[in-house]
Amino acid sequence: MISRKAIEKLIQQASNHSASIIIGARQVGKSTLLGMLRERLARPSQMFNLENPLHLALFNEGYTSFIRNIRTNTIFIDEFQYCKNISSVFKAVYDLNPQIKIYATGSSSMGIQSHLKESLAGRKFETILYPLSYGEWLLKESPDKRPVLSADIAEITSPDELETHRNHLGEFLRYGALPGLLSLSDDLEKREYLFGIYQTYIAKDIKAFLKEESVLSFNKAITWLALHNGAQLNKSILSTVAGISSRQIDRYLDVLAGTFVLALLPPLANNRGKELTKTPKFYLYDQGIINSIIQDFRPIDLRPDAGMLREQFVFWELRKKLDIRYSLHYWRTIDGKEVDFVLRKDQELLPIEVKTSWNPPAIPPGLRHFLILYPETRNAFVLYDGPEHISHHGLCTIHFTPLHKAFAIPLVLAD
């Protein structure tokens, strides 16, 4: 069992009677997290799984039935999206029984939001659970084989540690970060597991939301997205590939985002430097699932998209770390100059460039141009497969940092 970082935040919510909602894609560990949370809280509680018809019937009968059948003040509810009137139950519990604390999980954001968005405003905490971060994934290693992973961005990584992280990242980017993989060691088992999750997603979530539309066209669309992961979202090309209208493409994208399978990265647009595009980039949620869709599990250094694999890794390491104080963007000008990511907090900007290899102290051209147009920038990062190095450009400190330290970057903008 690997402890998830989200558990500490959820434990802190135990004294607040707002419903604590845990949502995310299939098989990211929501049910396991709920069980670990129940164990950590170590208080009298009841667990309901709404995939169980008996439990679901209790909730479908509404608040009166629910309140009549509970015996503790802490309630855990798994897969609550199966109950159509769950929001009325949660709302009534919040309003009428402030002594009761509810923790609940659900897989489908689209279904959840239709239940909860308005009726539970101000009555819930929401936690999005992603696949394992690289730091969480490393916990599968025994302590004597686990490389050091320091949150201190300035701490020097030894050559041996750097090489160990390179090897671990190769596996992390090959099979992805779904928790269920940790119990599997065989390549075939891992591939079958990932393909099974993808097939279940198509069979359950997609057919539920796209009843009147062709699953075949959806498969074409998601395959194109997997092959072009990290690119700008070209709806026209996607519509042609899938053989469907732009309206249907918008529907597909809503479903993918609503089930946490796809995230959009908007451009930074401060009207400086002729920032041209309003088109977002897109990232599918797990590299193992992507590799399963496109049927390519070769080692990272043998792949033509090796640079994009590293960029995908950085995007999700940042995304898993950020809270509501931060926004994440990319930057591109009309003449093609680009920075992979720009992290913003209270209008302070932190540009981040991802490189397969680089030779410090040379500054990547796109980053150099960004620093000219944004001379107030105080810190910038180049993430690559090499050791730590510090350089300067005007008032800006440029951190050349090993790729595996992407998770620690937001701390530079912390209070």
Written in H, E and C, the secondary structure of the chain is CCCCCHHHHHHHHHHCCCEEEEECCCCCCHHHHHHHHHHHHCCCCEEEECCCHHHHHHHHCCHHHHHHHCCCCEEEEECHHHCCCHHHHHHHHHHHCCCCEEEEEECCHHHHHHHHCCCCCCCEEEEECCCCCHHHHHCCCCCCCCCCCCCCCCCCCCHHHHHHHHHHHHHHHHHCCCHHHHHCCCHHHHHHHHHHHHHHHHHHHHHHHCCCCCHHHHHHHHHHHHHCCCCECCHHHHHHHHCCCHHHHHHHHHHHHHCCCEEEECECCCCCCCECCCCCEEEECCHHHHHHHHCCCCCHHHCCCHHHHHHHHHHHHHHHHCCCCEEEEEEEECCCCEEEEEEEECCEEEEEEECCCCCCCCCCHHHHHHHHHCCCCCEEEEEECCCCEEEEECCEEEEEEEHHHHHHHHHHHCC
User: Residue 373 and residue 261: Cα distance in Å, rounded?
Assistant: 35
* pLDDT given at position 274: 55
Which CATH architecture fits 6-128?
3-Layer(aba) Sandwich (3.40)
Q: How many residues does the chain have?
A: 415
Nearest to 36 by CA among 94, 105, 111, 131: 105
Please return the burial class of 185, using the count of CB atoms within 10 Å of its CB with bins 0-12, 13-18 and 19+. Answer: exposed
The neighbour count for residue 297, using CB atoms within 10 Å, is 15
Nearest to 409 by CA among 364, 350, 369, 349: 350
Q: What is the mean pLDDT of each run of 10 residues along the chain (415 residues)?
A: 90 94 92 95 95 92 90 95 86 93 84 65 89 95 88 90 95 96 94 94 80 83 96 94 92 89 90 67 96 95 94 97 94 91 95 95 96 95 96 95 95 79
Let me know: does 279 contact 267? Beta carbons within 8 Å. yes
pTM tops 0.85: yes
Locate the domains of the chain by residue range.
6-128, 138-413
The neighbour count for residue 16, using CB atoms within 10 Å, is 11
* pLDDT given at position 136: 96
- Contacting residues for 208 by C-beta, under 8 A, at least 6 apart: 108
